[in-house]
Structure 1
């Protein structure tokens, strides 16, 4: 059975998945990029951006296994690109160039319809306008029994968590404080929703926590 998985989602010690004052030029907000300092040195990240080398320790182990057995992806529109409102410029096809790192169908949550975009390497972006549960249903059909990766951002993960739809969550807790921004857990009672901590591992640059139902 397909599971909905959050993988390699970085948060600060005070629970923020993005910093304050997010802008189109700085979508992660002030100091938001520091959340991902654990990921940038890894072999997995370097492969994604076409660079050789990278670290091969515990952080890499968690980064790489997040791509195992993934048959489809879900993400919010803000993660797909900086464009807001109606699609005035349909030339935008994501941050990742002609061959995105997903290699499977990606369902983008949006309020504005758009035709699917077929990319190199097996990635096709589909734009879902009728809610998170519809996107999950479509992703399960497309995944063919494999799991679905919920890529974020923070508000999208919160929506799925609030309905108890996330089956597995890998959080990379970075040793930084953001103070404000988008908090992943504010107002959510994970215990009442049926979640518990299954594993905690200290990596080189982050603490990796596995939460499951």
Structure 2
């Protein structure tokens, strides 16, 4: 059965990058957004499976590499935000690492971009629900991976479309930046999104925690022992 999954690297205080860089002509790689992003994702760039997928040599064969290899093998299609797609277009080159159809959520139309290795970028202008539906149809029974960024992951979660969330928690406090689980999830004042942890894997530089997303539920206070004893 096709699941909709998402995974992001975050700091202990919940940030996946530094404060947003607005692209005012400055170098994104030198921005605070990029510096803090690479600080929480360096576990991945050190992993052999990530490096192999990018066409690089070397890397560590460890539990983190296994997690990355597993995620690539599970995905039959991807959903991605336009900002991530635009930012990766040049670095990914003619053979991006996805090797599957990618559906880009955007409000700016563009013709489908075909790349080598089985990757294509289809630009979807009628909303995140449509992008997820199209990705499911293209996934061939495998999972749909929401590749990011954080704003898109929140949109998919808020819409009740996310089945599984995996957080790669780096042992660092960033203090400020782009927070994954932000206030725009659209939750009511007495409502939460409940998750069940299903796997925890430890590595020296990151902890991988996988959750099944149960969905929205009212927040109910217990009676703190004030109820009938029975």
| TM-score scaled by length of structure 1 | 0.88
Point out the structure with max Rg over C-alpha: 2
Q: Distance in 2 between matches of 1:23 and 1:33?
A: 18
Structure 2 residue matching 1:194: 3-state secondary structure? strand
Moved over 4 A (4+): none
1:127 aligns with 2:123: yes
CA distance in 1, matches of 2:137, 2:20: 37
Larger relative contact order, structure 1 or 2 (CA cutoff 8 Å, min sep 6): 1
Name the residue aligned to 1:88.
none
Query: Match for 2:181 among 175, 185, 209?
Result: 185
Contact between 1:19 and 1:32, CA under 8 Å: does it hold in 2? yes
Structure 2 stretches of 5 or more lacking a match?
Answer: 214-230
Identify the match of residue 158 of structure 1 among 150, 154, 175. 154
- 1:95 aligned to which of 88, 91, 95: 91
Check the 8 A contact 1:20/1:181 in 2, yes or no.
Answer: yes
Asked if the contact 2:16/2:36 (under 8 Å) is kept, the reply is no
CA distance in 2, matches of 1:161, 1:4: 10
CA contact (8 A) 1:200 1:210 kept: yes
Report the counterpart of residue 57 of structure 2 in structure 1: 52
| CA distance, structure 2, for counterparts of residue 129 and residue 196 of structure 1 | 33
State the alpha-carbon separation in 2 of the partners of residues 60 and 54 from structure 1: 9
Structure 1 alignment gaps of length 5 or more: 83-91
Partners in 2 of 1:60 and 1:126 — Cα distance? 29
Q: Secondary structure, in 3 states, of the residue corresponding to 2:193?
A: coil
* DSSP 3-state at the match of 1:140: helix
Per the alignment, residue 166 of structure 2 pairs with 170
Residue 70 in structure 1 maps to residue 75 in structure 2: yes
The alpha carbon displacement at 1:21 in A equals 4.1
Q: What secondary structure, in the 3-state scheme, does the structure 1 residue paired with 2:68 have?
A: helix
Q: Deviations over 1:41-77 (max 9, x none)?
A: 1101211332222111111111211112311101101
The structure in which a higher percent of residues are strand is: 2
Structure with greater proportional helix content: 2
Give the aligned partner of residue 15 of structure 1: 14
Is 1:197 the counterpart of 2:193? The answer is no
List per-residue Cα deviations over 1:5-39 (Å, max 9, x = no partner): 113x1001100111114243327444221011111
Query: What SS is found at the alignment partner of 2:166?
Result: strand
Secondary structure, counterpart of 1:192 in structure 2: strand
Determine the C-alpha separation between the residues in 2 that align with 1:119 and 1:21: 29
- Which whole-Å CA distance do the structure 2 matches of 1:125 and 1:199 have between them? 31
